Amino acid sequence: MLTEQSAYTNRWRWVSPTAKGIFTCSGLVAACAATSPRASLLVITLLMATAIFGAGIPITHYLRVGAPAMLFLGASCLSLLVTLNFGSGGSPLTLQSNPDELSRIVHICGRSCACLAALLLLTLTTPLSDIISLLRRCRVPDTLLDLMTLCYRTLFVLSAAIHETLTAQSARLGHSTVTQSLRSLGGLVANLTIQVWQRSQALHIAALARNNDGALRFLEYPFARSARHITLASGAGITLILLAVLIP
């Protein structure tokens, strides 16, 4: 996963997740508060620049992570562009031509891009385990955090298992036709389903062996200079929101 890769290697790996979280939230607020296309564009530019020049995420990497979402956004905006006409004769689907509607779509598109830029800033600089500890500090219920911790750890284990099975199936021509492929995929998922029980039972025994009898708790490691980073992030966040609101 591309996001993972840069989350562990970027320049801001050791900046307090709280600071990064505060700035991301400010980014989201700014994105929603921006009323003009110009303001949205400014928010997008600032958030992108922060990720690329601040955290040192390579531009190509950044674009590759954002590309699928942008394609998706393009499709979603296209769906807004067309309207249905009932009984007025002619084509039932027409392109939107009302200028008010068009400017509304541009606004939605800008807000979406700005929110995406805010999200990417967080995910490209912060590993999920740090985000989970951040959520712990935000008093998210333990059970939900346990689900996240286990999900994050296990998804790599299961992905590896899937990859091995797919290779083995392909080696025996299990994916040569559509029907064959569906059958192989069904076998794979059924096998994986059984593994869910087997693996969770093994994890349970291992947790007991390490004296666990409740929620999964881990030691949190303090981040150096976090107070300074939090102050900086809050200041920058407020500035970003003000810019978004004030720019006409």
* Cα distance between residue 66 and residue 60, in whole Å: 10
Q: Which residues contact 32 (CB under 8 A, 6 or more apart)?
A: 111, 115
Q: Which of 128, 123, 114, 11 is nearest to 62 (CA)?
A: 123
Q: Which stretch binds other proteins (CB under 8 A): 45-53, 108-116, 229-237, 240-248?
A: 108-116
* Cα distance between residue 107 and residue 124, in whole Å: 25
What is the closest distance, in whole angstroms, from the C-beta atom of residue 48 to other proteins in the complex?
14
What is the closest distance, in whole angstroms, from the C-beta atom of residue 166 to other proteins in the complex?
9
Q: Decide if 43 contacts 243 (C-beta within 8 A).
A: yes
What is the closest distance, in whole angstroms, from the C-beta atom of residue 27 to other proteins in the complex?
10
Does 111 participate in binding other proteins (rule CB under 8 A)?
Answer: yes
| Integer CA distances (angstroms), 159 to 144, 152, 192, 244, in order | 22, 11, 10, 41
Does 1 participate in binding other proteins (rule CB under 8 A)?
Answer: yes
* Cα distance between residue 7 and residue 1, in whole Å: 10
- Position among 181, 226, 234, 238 found at the interface with other proteins (CB under 8 A): 181
Q: Decide if 12 contacts 236 (C-beta within 8 A).
A: no
Q: Which stretch binds other proteins (CB under 8 A): 53-61, 202-210, 224-232, 235-243?
A: 202-210
Residue numbers 126-145 binding other proteins by CB under 8 A? 127-129, 131, 141, 143-144
Does 82 participate in binding other proteins (rule CB under 8 A)?
Answer: yes
Does 197 participate in binding other proteins (rule CB under 8 A)?
Answer: yes
Residue numbers 212-231 binding other proteins by CB under 8 A? 212-213, 216-219, 221
Supply the DSSP symbol for 12: T
By CB under 8 A, the count of residues binding other proteins is 93
Q: Which stretch binds other proteins (CB under 8 A): 48-56, 71-79, 228-236, 237-245?
A: 71-79
Does 206 participate in binding other proteins (rule CB under 8 A)?
Answer: yes
Could you tell me what percentage of the chain is helix, strand and coil, using 3-state DSSP and rounding each to the nearest 5? 75, 0, 25
Does 22 participate in binding other proteins (rule CB under 8 A)?
Answer: no
